[in-house]
Amino acid sequence: MTGINLFSQKIGKWAASLRSLFASPDVANLSRNLPAVIRSRLPAVAGAAAQTGRTLEPAVSRMGLGAKTFLLFVILPTFVMWLYALLWETRGYSVELRLTVRAAPEQKVAAMGDSSTMSSLISKFSGGSKSTTQDTYIVLNYLKSRAMIADIGGRAYFESIYSGDDVDYFSRLRRGANIEDLQKYWAKHITASVESMSGILTVQVDAYSPESALRLSNDLVRLSEALVNQITLRGRKDALKRADQEVSVSSQRLADAREKLLQFRNANLLIDPTSKAASISEVIGKLTLEKIDLEAELSTFTGALSPDSPSERIQRAKLATINKQIAEARAKLTSEKASDALSAQIAGYERLKLEEQFAQTLYQIAQTSYQKARQELEKQVLYLVVVVKPTLPEAPATPKVFVSTVLLFCELAVLWAICMLIGAAFSDQMI
């Protein structure tokens, strides 16, 4: 009670010294950054404050405890806040920009064979496009991150914008601030949100001069575009690397298959067993026709000639020779005992030929995949679209003197009321 009475007595003295405070050199130097209209009214404000203090001094001394605490903890801070916002707080300017990420239209190119298997392999190597809304959220988080602070220029860049002498003490960025404090300060000067339906990122940047706000906004657009270009770059590089590895593997596999086929041909002294089998089959066919003719002649001579006649013996010898040639030819084609039979060679040849064809098909698919991956790497998959470009602000957005003063008054009044209720409850318990 005594402390409050002493405070009420000093209010008049504090108000009377306000005029001399505004006339002091320090405050005069500080007020040079204020508009001329405000500087011209500083003496009048000081005089009015002093007169108000002298008028209120008798009334304050007659106030009760509740009124004095309300004056001390609600009215006085609100008045100081009002003076700060009106006379000292630096004017802030806001720039709004809107961005979105769009994927490049896909161009369908007919691949070799146009088969579903080949298309699926190419899609596997090249990778698919991601949701642009997800990419927009990536940009949003990047704009608030330490990575963006480092990319844009770090501490020196932000000090050039927020640590100037034209910025008031409470709004200024402290020089030499660490990265944690710098990130917290930056979070207070950027507002970003994404519309889920359209995927548009709305960014609002605050600075203490129109030029600084516009410069900062343009730099954010530049960094966002660079980030969008980097989002899919690693995936495209990995796809190209995998495609190149597949080309190398399939090329080696094709070379091995052809080497085995060459070794088979050198070992068996033939190029294509199937063609040799065809020629042997043709020989067997001709010999079979000759055999049929000889057998027909022998059946004709059976009744007319003696079995021991020279003509019949010659025909029988020819028939035996033909039968032997047919048997030898058939043995060359198929034989369970002979390892060099054409049937066994054809089986091994067809297996090696099938491996070569399969390796060649894989090699062609890998080559097509590599070409597509290289094309995907060279082209831009995602684009940053600036829906609303940043423009130079003309009027300050802050401070909002009336709104901030009323909000502070309401907050302090609520806290004061809660404290008074708690104090009254303790008083009732003490009685």
Locate 421 and state its tokens.
């209720």
Residue 113: band (very low, low, confident or very high) from pLDDT cuts 50, 70, 90 = very low
**Least confidently predicted of 115-129, 146-160, 303-317:** 115-129
Angle at 297 between CA 293 and CA 299, to 5 degrees: 115
For 265, 272, 346, the CA distances from 262, given in Å and listed in that order, are 5, 11, 14
pLDDT at 176 over 60: yes
- For 223-275, what is each residue's pLDDT tens digit? 999 998 888 788 888 888 899 999 999 999 999 988 988 887 787 767 777 77
As a whole number, mean pLDDT of residues 313-322 equals 78
One CATH from 3.40.1000, 3.30.1890, 2.60.40, 1.20.58 for 93-105+116-248+381-388? 3.30.1890
What is the reported pLDDT for 57? 53
* pTM given for the model: 0.57
pLDDT at 326 over 70: yes
Q: Nearest to residue 106, comparing CAs of 126, 80, 77, 76?
A: 126
Q: Nearest to residue 372, comparing CAs of 118, 115, 113?
A: 118
Give the highest mean pLDDT range of 29-38, 268-277, 329-338. 268-277
- 205 DSSP β-pair partners: 95, 190
As a whole number, mean pLDDT of residues 181-196 equals 93
- What is the distance between the alpha carbons of residues 9 and 14, in angstroms, rounded to a whole number? 9
Distance from first CA to last CA of the chain, Å, rounded?
19
For 55, 258, 282, 288, 411, the CA distances from 343, given in Å and listed in that order, are 125, 21, 16, 20, 99
What is the reported pLDDT for 58? 56
As a whole number, mean pLDDT of residues 322-341 equals 70
Residue 111: band (very low, low, confident or very high) from pLDDT cuts 50, 70, 90 = very low
- For 413-424, what is each residue's pLDDT tens digit? 999 999 988 888
- What is the distance between the alpha carbons of residues 161 and 208, in angstroms, rounded to a whole number? 8
Coil vs helix vs strand at 90: coil
As a whole number, mean pLDDT of residues 307-325 equals 75
What is the reported pLDDT for 126? 42
Sign of CA dihedral 246, 247, 248, 249: positive
- For 5-21, what is each residue's pLDDT tens digit? 444 444 445 444 444 54
* The residue to which tokens 């507002």 are assigned: 191
Q: Alpha carbon 57 to chain centroid distance?
A: 65
Helix spans in 73-199 (H): 76-83, 116-126, 132-143, 146-152, 154-162, 179-188
What is the largest distance, in Å, between two alpha-carbon atoms of the chain? 169
Residue 305: band (very low, low, confident or very high) from pLDDT cuts 50, 70, 90 = low
- What is the distance between the alpha carbons of residues 373 and 247, in angstroms, rounded to a whole number? 12
Query: What torsion do the CA atoms of 112, 115, 117, 123 make, to the nearest 10 degrees?
Result: 60
* The residue to which tokens 């959220």 are assigned: 137
